[in-house]
Structure 1
């Protein structure tokens, strides 16, 4: 009787394996991609509700959930310049159920700025997909009386350190963008850090600083209201709203700057799962409702393989790493 049960169980197991393999072959999808459980897909983001990162995370969570037939949620873990969210995902199980949406600073700048980072961007994650690039805009106070980007540059050269600029904090994308402009064009500006770009923009409008670089979504309302003056942009997306603005890269070839967002999985995630996620994300980015929604925030979608994101990070680390070290930028 025991031998019979053992034989029955072994044949039953073999049959189930054959059926499972057949199902995968029929659908053409990895077994993970099929709705095997009710566990939700958790998309973690290091920004509060309503911020650009949160908007992107919610769109991607919804599209992934719909495509894979599983529930999805967004987990907002703001703090430490995105480090809290990144550390959480880095230590999560690599089964495709916990993902990170993060801007470039989390993966590129933070390792150079924070002396003790709890995660390693080069070892703790697998790139899933580049989600998009956000256009940046240089804004100045009307009181500065700079009518063009060329005039702004000349003012800064004529009086070194006299022009002040606000940023979202040490190492923040708004900080690094302005420092890169200054470095490449030979300018000496005075940095005034704030706790976020919203306070920095308020500082500009109140006259506490002369300039800021912020996202197009943040810039548009204030430019249209006449509270600030737009002088230059980081990408062509702004041309639709500000057709006469020059791009930074017209002044220097290494000023092709933007804030990008990517999706990442824990390093232990299998390549098959990453590829499946990448496929569904690229499908979502190609949908009109997604691209339209992101365009409202000045974000240009950029579908591609995970290697595209890997290459972008490597290039940005090579560019921003030496700049951070040269300027001695640190965050506590």
Structure 2
């Protein structure tokens, strides 16, 4: 499971390898793995590295067999609370002809120690999908200034957007995408305090499933409107085609869980994730009693949440 506390250790089924900084004049560049055997992470420390992110990325392309690289991770690009990801997006797009085998990109593998998730300044990221029509997995962390134009992509199978607050405009852009091969969609919607001003209506194209015929796992989570999302999911056509449904990490109360349980049947699911919630013990018991006998794997763990009405927050905000 990806968290905001640790860097990715695996991506696209490959171990992650940090492309090294420029060695001292007296040192040789360390031996590197085969270009297609790892997911390459390119990151710089804003207060220690003299090399820019673009310089390090360019050196990666010139050092390894770029034509064989399968997965790339964009880590810290330096003072990401002041500088947007546009510099990395533009560099990736410009290098598209050198990366014919690239199948996975994660933009913003930045931990809390490097920058709070709400501080990360993103940019317009859909040019990456346009530039890489063979891309199968795309992940983004950070919602500030994130823009996502509605595009069609024939091959993308997994899309993840992690944020402490995802704007309605960005959600509408994502929801408007035509992604016939998508099997996994994971959106952290966040809270209005950090830019998460989306409404359930912004999710309408996702909830119908019309442009997502292959979708099997849907996560609409980390939201302060989690109850309203669950009310909508209770009758959403997309649920019938799902195997996994995730409504965790948000302000989920008995109202939302009850609506979900009394709506359309969920017994066809293989998993229902509600972990981190504000459910009463009786509601948690009801969820288990209804779904576990049908073979649904249910997670209603409270984690660090609780039931106190005065302290209800999403799991990841700032």
- TM-score category of the 2 structures, normalised to the smaller one: under 0.3
Normalised to the residue count of structure 1, the TM-score between the two structures is 0.25
Normalised to the residue count of structure 2, the TM-score between the two structures is 0.26
Answer with 1 or 2: which has the greater Rg: 1
Bigger fraction of residues in helix: 1
